[in-house]
A and B are shown apart, each in its own frame.
Chain A
Amino acid sequence: MKQINVTSPLSDSVITSLQAGDRILLSGVIYTGRDAAHKRMTELISAGKPLPFDICGQTIYYAGPCPAPPGRVIGSIGPTTSSRMDAYSPDLIQKGLRVMIGKGPRSQEVIEAIRRHKGIYFAAVGGAGALLSLCVETAECVAFGDLGPEAIYKLTVRNMPLVVAIDGFGNHEIH
């Protein structure tokens, strides 16, 4: 099966060209965010305050990395369970988030939000944290540094291996 090269942030035309089950290699800029960061971001939205980075058109990777060993950019960084972010994702998608990366299935509400706003959800292979860390070229903490591994990191990645789990039409290929 061919692997499609995709650059983040993703354009509308790229999102609509991808289909559930496609295997991609993602390069470009993505942001990490998991439970605690999502909670804070939705609290900021509720309070009418700006988010710590412009989320419009962006990609969030549900991941909390290990600390970087000497000489490395980052430690192991595989995906965490996406369903824990289901409660927060529709609000963020509404605010312009387009792409999510994680592991496991999503709720019907998230699938519907993805379909309505032409978003996309990629699955990374859960438990492949060492391999995925080698795809990270730069890492910089951009928000919520006090949360440690749960802070938001801006990553530049190269050829991150992923599968389209829910495409922009709401079709899904994940259990």
Chain B
Amino acid sequence: MLFWNPYKKVKGFCRMRIVEAIDITQAVAELCIKANTCVGEDIYNALDRSRQDEALPNAKWALDTILENAVIAKRENLPICQDTGMAVVFVGIGSDIHVNGDINQAINQGVRQGYRDGYFRNSVVQDPIDRINTNDNTPAVIHYDFVPGDRLSITVAPKGFGSENMSGVSMLKPSDGAEGIKEFVVKTIESAGASPCPPIIAGVGIGGTMEKAAILAKQALLRDVGSVNADPYWAEFESELLAHINALSIGPAGFGGKTTALALHILTYPTHIAGLPVAVNIGCHANRHQTVEL
């Protein structure tokens, strides 16, 4: 479609792709339902491999239960977990996209519809102290990013607070270095114990500022389980840290054993000369997230 662009120095028309707000609402509603009822194939396969590896009877039984739960949830169209989470939404907006309508409202309306139609639990309170339920699971936490192209990508990652509560940020000193990072990550996961529903996925954000590290940690949870970090240094770092974490023997549901974490993913960003921010975002064994491109 052709649009008059008043900001262009040379008078003329530029090409923008129109996305209707109602289509965003529909997509978000569907993503909320799919993310809450269908365990990702990558995660299911990783759980199944761990199950074959696990020797301790109660740990193996916990993995059996988790796998059976995933099958039941999908078959019966039930939420994997009763904590259907706070809806975290990542939006990638192509520079050649024009959204016809209010995108914030469109996303929140999608969350409202998805949680209502899915018979999901409303877990959001309006005020952190008054704690009155908003009764429709809104507002969502929305992160926007602008990318080249004419596509709009939406990821919905419902975040339960069993695992979110066990996450943390630390502003390390540059002198703490790689060892300091490892120590903080292991300590965070060790003190979490069985509360975040192990086997977990650990998202680690390193660098940037305090909030940048935290957002990176959350984005790191979105990577496919089983994928390898493209940077060989960080790939090695990830596998070494994962081995440390699995040596903690917290195990599935906290019953001991080899599988405390299925994966650990790191994302980094340039940082300040004086700082080394590190964030650990713990995802439960379902690590729910679904993406669509419009």
Residues on A close to B: CB < 8 A?
Answer: 1, 21, 23, 36, 63-69, 75-78, 80-81, 83, 103-105, 123, 125-134, 148-149, 161, 163, 165, 173-175
Contact = CB atoms under 8 A, between A and B. Distances in A.
A173 B135 CA distance: 37
Interface string B147-165: 0000000000000001001
A123 B198 CA distance: 13
A130 B76 contact: yes
B185 to A, nearest CB: 17
A77 B122 CA distance: 14
Nearest to A3: B61
Contacts of A134: 72, 76
Nearest to A127: B197
Given A105-B193, A126-B284, A149-B122, A66 B69 contact: no
Q: Most chain-A CB neighbours within 10 Å: which of B62, B78, B82, B250?
A: B82
A126 B197 contact: yes
Contacts of A148: 122, 133, 135
A104 B254 contact: yes
Contact of B68 (A36, A103, A131, A163): A131
Contact of A105 (B73, B76, B195): B195
Nearest to A1: B57
B139 interface: no
- State the 6 A-B residue pairs at the shortest beta-carbon distance, nearest first: A126-B197, A104-B195, A130-B73, A131-B69, A128-B69, A129-B82
Contacts of B68: 128, 131
Contacts of B76: 130, 134
A175 B69 contact: no
A81 B62 contact: no
B212 interface: no
A68 B121 CA distance: 10
* Chain B interface bracket (under 10, 10 to 19, 20 to 34, 35 or more): 35 or more
Contact of A175 (B83, B162, B250): B250
Chain B CB within 10 A, most for which of A75, A81, A149, A161: A81
A66 B119 contact: yes
B81 A76 contact: yes
Interface in B35-69: 57-58, 61-62, 65-66, 68-69
A64 B72 contact: no
A127 B256 contact: no
B121 A78 contact: no
Nearest to A103: B194
Contacts of B121: 64-67, 75, 149
A134 B75 CA distance: 13
B82 A65 contact: yes
